[in-house]
Amino acid sequence: MPTDAARRATLIPEYARLTRRTIRDLRGRVDGPTPPEIVRRFLWFLPLSDDEARAIALRLR
């Protein structure tokens, strides 16, 4: 699967709808994953850096 900028721009908004609720549900749990970890799990096919995953998670909160 191509991971160029155009592909990211297309896929991230679609997955954002899926991950937004998950981040809200898991954010308050003591042993739950952090929002950037949730983003990386949903966008496993894109090579995201820590900063990119964090930025996406902040936009989804």
Mean pLDDT of 21-43: 81
**pLDDT value at position 3?**
60
pLDDT band at 50 (very low <50, low <70, confident <90, very high): very high
pLDDT band at 32 (very low <50, low <70, confident <90, very high): confident
Mean pLDDT of 10-37: 79
> Which residue, among 48, 49, 52, 57, has the nearest Cα to 19 in the 3D structure?
57
pTM for this entry: 0.63
Mean of pLDDT over the chain: 79
Give the C-alpha separation, 59 to 28, whole Å: 17
**Tokens 């679609």 appear where?**
14
